[in-house]
């Protein structure tokens, strides 16, 4: 039986740059760095974002960008603060996708290795409730 999410791993060209992104945007806490010891396929670092274990490993970046992404939940009041953090790190933000009112707001951005991240203000419960109303009714 699946107990939950164990961890997520991202392959990155530059461990230090991705470390700066994780700590600078997500307030991630570094809990391990392999340095010269290599237990896995390449050098790696582990972080915690809340209780979520994020691993980064050295390697070749994704060849292109896609809409595949991981979304982190944030409070709507913090949206502008996070957008500023992303801009400060010089990351590429996508324009928000069209949304119906009531499903939350999002910031989409790419890291230097073509991974897409989303910071989202809504919840699954809110989105399902809004979708249940259909397209004809705005609220």
DSSP 72-137: EE--GGGHHHHHHHHHHTT-EEEPPPP--TTS--EEEEE-TTS-EEEEE---HHHHHHHHHT-SS-
d(CA 84, CA 38): 36
| Number of CB atoms found within 10 A of residue 92's CB | 13
Catalytic residue among 3, 30, 44, 103: 44
Q: Are 27 and 49 in contact (CB under 8 A)?
A: yes
The tokens of 13 are what? 């060209």
Residue 44 appears among annotated catalytic residues: yes
CA distances from 19 to 9, 25, 28, 110, 123 (A): 13, 10, 8, 14, 27
Q: Which residues are catalytic?
A: 44
């Amino acid at each position: 039986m699946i107990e939950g999410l164990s961890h997520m791993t991202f392959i990155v060209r530059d461990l230090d740059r991705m470390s700066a992104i994780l700590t600078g945007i997500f307030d991630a806490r570094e809990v391990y760095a392999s340095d010269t010891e290599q237990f896995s396929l390449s050098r790696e670092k582990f972080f915690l974002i809340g209780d979520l274990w994020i691993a980064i490993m050295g390697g070749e970046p994704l060849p292109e960008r896609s809409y595949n992404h991981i979304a982190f939940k944030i409070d709507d009041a913090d949206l502008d603060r996070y957008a500023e953090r992303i801009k400060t790190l010089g990351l590429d933000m996508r324009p928000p996708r069209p949304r119906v009112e009531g499903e939350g707001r999002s910031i989409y951005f790419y890291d230097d290795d073509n991974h897409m991240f989303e910071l989202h203000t809504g919840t699954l419960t809110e989105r399902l409730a809004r979708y249940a109303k259909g397209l004809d009714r705005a609220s």
